[in-house]
Structure 1
Amino acid sequence: MTAMNGGGTRRWSWGSGRSESQRADAQAAKDAAAAAFYELDTAQRDLRISIETLSAVDDSPAARKAVRDFEEFGTRIDEVSHAYITTVDAHDLDRDDLDSGSAARARAELDRAKQDLERTKADLERFGQGLASLLTQAENELARLVPAVERARQGLLAASNALDSARAAGLQADELASRLAALSPELTKLNEGAGRHGIQDTLRRADRVVREAEAIRGEAERLPERAAEIDKRLSSLRTRTQALHTRAGQVEPVLSELRRRFSAACWQDLQQVPDQAARSVRQAEERLAEARKARDEQRWADATSLLSTVRALLNTTDESVKAAGDRLQRLNEVSFDHSKEVERTRFAIRDAQRLAMAGRSTPDPRHARPLDDAVERVDRAVASLTGRHPDYWHLLTELDAVKETVRIVVEQIREQRAGQ
């Protein structure tokens, strides 16, 4: 059958209608496969951005596994994408001699390619949904980055301003200035950004800079107060040193009276107190002079350390000087009438014995034995007061030891009953 067409002729095939229908179906399958290919590619690129964020932020085992799994998905996506492209290249749907069989095969293969692409995309989406918590955490970490870096910059600025104010007040603050200068390389790295140093390292660096800058700022702002405090301590310790120097000179007369009135056992352990006190006072005066120099040179840590040394020297010396005076006073009291001190000790023992028997028919041996020993110890101590110059100091130390033993027993009884 022929038909006229502009003076020419064209042959029509009886099956051409079916071929064109098959071609159209194949073309529709090709378009659907192309859409599936595009959607898979888009999903992969979107998820890759999230995975890159996760990799940069999170170094946990779960995050590393997610990265590996995504790489495996990449291999699978490459395979189905290659199969799709190969299928498209294998079928020219625009050629004139495309028969219905070829079109049908093209349609079937393109449908399979589309299904593989869609199935892979669905699996990829499920994989992405399973990473929701990890990704949310990573995005939150990323959101912290800019504010953290800005806080570090502002912290450094505040520290610098505080140092300027301290210097304006006549304080050098050299040590703080050195610490601030040491943070300069850290600021350089912060400015280079997380792209070079990683998000986690950048966040840690920013936090470290904030803490150190805040410490420098705080110390710089406290410098005037610190200087005033050191000046006050210098004055106070100087006055105390002078007073102790005077008191130390009074120890020798106390020792003379002790030697004159009491046995050697009562005072021989105090023989070195005058020399030790004089030596300690001299050392305190030397350390005070060093502390004054350190303060003038604004070596605050050295000044503080030296003042602590002076205080410790004065405390020790003050205790030894006081011990000599207390010794004479106690010995005077007990030599005049030792019965009062003895009776106070016996009363403490009896009080503990009543507590040990409270609610019991017989006392606990753990409590009774040390209390019985304490009674005997007091009796022996009193009996030892013999001769022209009795050893009253032995009596006092024995009574003090007995009272400490009684105190421990009472405490044990109360703890035991509280537990019951």
Structure 2
Amino acid sequence: MTATHAQPHVGAKASAVRDVLTVLLLPVPLAIAILPGAFAGGGTRRWFGGRGESARADAQAAKDAAAAAFYELDTAQRDLRISIETITAVDSSPSAQRAVSDFTALGRRIDEVSSGYISAVDAHDLDRDGLDPSSVAKARTDLTKAKDELDRVKGELDRFEQGLGPLLDKAETQLARLAPAVERARQGLLAASNALDAVRASGLRADDLAARLAQLGPELTKLNQGAGQHGVTETLQRADQVLRDAEAVRTEADRLPERAREIDRRLVSLRTRAQALTTRAGSVEPILSELRRRFTAECWQDLQHVPEHAATTVRQAEEKLKEAGQARAEQRWPDATALLGTVRALLNSTDEAVSAAGDRLQRLNAVAKDPQHEIDRTRFAIRDAQRLAMAGRSVPEPRHARPLDDSVARLDRAVAGLEGRHPDYWHFLTETEAVRQSVAHVVSDIREERGAGA
């Protein structure tokens, strides 16, 4: 029984009772062997015939039954305490804390009925000579009452144990996961260490990976210290995190040789591209000269900065390439990767600017030669949208008709702008493109609305 709230003598007496009870519950021949003086030849008990002997036997039976009930309650409490300790080792939720509190309250009731049982046993010596019938009757009554109280609390304990089922199942599941989780973490660290050794053997330092792996050392120490020191939940979480981190290190170590080769390829490729862009950038100035000669300023003035921009960005890209090459030589892989990304962005910007000048001249030449193609293309888009807006209707929706009407007027103004000696062909192209985008937006709205209503 729990000794938390019992009187000091209860635990000692309970122990003595359990010792006697152990003998009482043995098979009869063994009990006789242990207590040879208890029966024939001992001369310590006088049994009276008739009613007295029967009453004394009934009282003794009540005492034996009470002892058995005491033993069962004690055993059940011990088993339940193990379950409570299992739960508290894993679960700190309010429901688990409430279970601990309820178990403590049950322990106090168990102490009370145990004390009552021990007092009843102490108060009645059924082996005493000259025991009068009234004393025998009282002994039977008190011991029966003690047994009933023990049984009642045992019933409470059984019901409490049944209610612990979900909490106990969860805790046992957690505990069952513990050892495999810790072992997986250890194996993950071993695999990461082996992968790192293999990379270093190939001539790659992998200092950053080695530093990350070293940071997991204290976590492994805590795993080895066990859940008894750090708790089951925390240990499970730590094991999972260590496994994830170790797996990441192993994966990156396995990929490192290919990563190094990829960085080498990108260095060569981007150097070649930078050289090619330097050559292409030289063609921008002649293109600008032709644009200035043949078209109005509005058609080319936004491209004036392209030669200077191209020269600047290519120079920046070449500087970053040198830094990336140095980072590769020093095996600073993240730095090398980041620098190569910067080089690529600079070259992309240069490529777009250089291409824009050539594309501008090509488009202006085409529209100057035949503006009707652009006009027809835009009018077709407007008519197609108008037919869709009228499909199944006698009158189009105003929210669709209005932007389409505006697009027609906008196209007419753009066409009118081509008249004169020096038309602004670039304004014409940007206007027709804007009209087609507006029309496409109306078409998308119509289809979306009709699709939703289908």
Work out whether 1:297 is the aligned partner of 2:330: yes
Structure 1 SS opposite 2:190: helix
1:213 matched residue in structure 2: 246
Work out whether 1:56 is the aligned partner of 2:89: yes
Distance in 1, Cα, partners of 2:47 & 2:111 = 43
Query: Contact 1:19 / 1:98 at 8 angstroms: preserved in 2?
Result: no
Distance in 2, Cα, partners of 1:196 & 1:38 = 34
Aligned-residue offset at 1:115: 1.1
**CA 1:235–1:50 in structure 2 vs 1: closer, same or farther (change >3 Å)?**
same
Tell me whether 56-65 or 323-332 shows the greater mean CA deviation.
56-65
Tell me whether 154-163 or 132-141 shows the greater mean CA deviation.
132-141
User: 1:269-418 counterparts in 2 under 5 A?
Assistant: 269-418=302-451
Aligned-residue offset at 1:61: 2.2
Instruction: Give the length in aligned residue pairs.
Output: 408
* Structure 2 length-normalised TM: 0.87
Distance in 1, Cα, partners of 2:359 & 2:434 = 17
Work out whether 1:29 is the aligned partner of 2:62: yes
Aligned-residue offset at 1:50: 0.7
1:187-232 Cα offsets, whole Å, 9 max, x none, are 1111111111111111111111111111111111111111111112
Aligned-residue offset at 1:15: 6.6
2:15 matched residue in structure 1: none
Work out whether 1:240 is the aligned partner of 2:273: yes
2:188 equivalent among 131, 155, 174: 155
1:96 matched residue in structure 2: 129
**CA 1:14–1:232 in structure 2 vs 1: closer, same or farther (change >3 Å)?**
closer
Distance in 2, Cα, partners of 1:323 & 1:256 = 15
2:98 equivalent among 65, 76, 83: 65
1:18-46 Cα offsets, whole Å, 9 max, x none, are 44443333222222211111110100010
* Structure 1 length-normalised TM: 0.94
Distance in 2, Cα, partners of 1:291 & 1:14 = 107
Query: Contact 1:261 / 1:389 at 8 angstroms: preserved in 2?
Result: no
1:267 matched residue in structure 2: 300
Q: Structure 1 runs of 4+ off > 6 angstroms?
A: 13-16
2:24 matched residue in structure 1: none
2:174 equivalent among 119, 134, 141: 141
1:44 matched residue in structure 2: 77
Structure 1 SS opposite 2:393: coil
1:250-294 Cα offsets, whole Å, 9 max, x none, are 111111110111110000000001101110111111111111111
Structure 1 SS opposite 2:235: helix
What are structure 1's unaligned runs of at least 5 residues?
Answer: 1-12
Distance in 2, Cα, partners of 1:413 & 1:14 = 109
Aligned-residue offset at 1:373: 1.0
Q: What letter is aligned with 1:97? A: G
Structure 1 SS opposite 2:182: helix
Distance in 1, Cα, partners of 2:230 & 2:70 = 36
Distance in 1, Cα, partners of 2:280 & 2:87 = 73
Tell me whether 20-29 or 326-335 shows the greater mean CA deviation.
20-29
Aligned-residue offset at 1:351: 1.5
Q: What letter is aligned with 2:173? A: N
1:115-142 Cα offsets, whole Å, 9 max, x none, are 1111111221121112212211211111
Query: Contact 1:288 / 1:306 at 8 angstroms: preserved in 2?
Result: yes
Work out whether 1:196 is the aligned partner of 2:238: no
Structure 2 SS opposite 1:93: coil
Structure 2 SS opposite 1:360: coil
Q: What letter is aligned with 1:394? A: H
Work out whether 1:175 is the aligned partner of 2:217: no
Tell me whether 18-27 or 37-46 shows the greater mean CA deviation.
18-27
Aligned-residue offset at 1:74: 0.7
Distance in 2, Cα, partners of 1:37 & 1:305 = 76
Tell me whether 102-111 or 324-333 shows the greater mean CA deviation.
102-111
Between the aligned residues of both structures, percent identity stands at: 71
Aligned-residue offset at 1:16: 6.3
2:148 matched residue in structure 1: 115
Aligned-residue offset at 1:179: 1.0
Q: What letter is aligned with 2:251? A: G
Query: Contact 2:320 / 2:340 at 8 angstroms: preserved in 1?
Result: yes
Aligned-residue offset at 1:328: 0.3
Aligned-residue offset at 1:370: 1.1
Q: What letter is aligned with 2:61? A: A
Q: What letter is aligned with 1:220? A: A
Aligned-residue offset at 1:68: 1.3
**CA 1:38–1:259 in structure 2 vs 1: closer, same or farther (change >3 Å)?**
same
Distance in 1, Cα, partners of 2:231 & 2:48 = 66
Distance in 2, Cα, partners of 1:155 & 1:186 = 13
Structure 1 SS opposite 2:128: coil
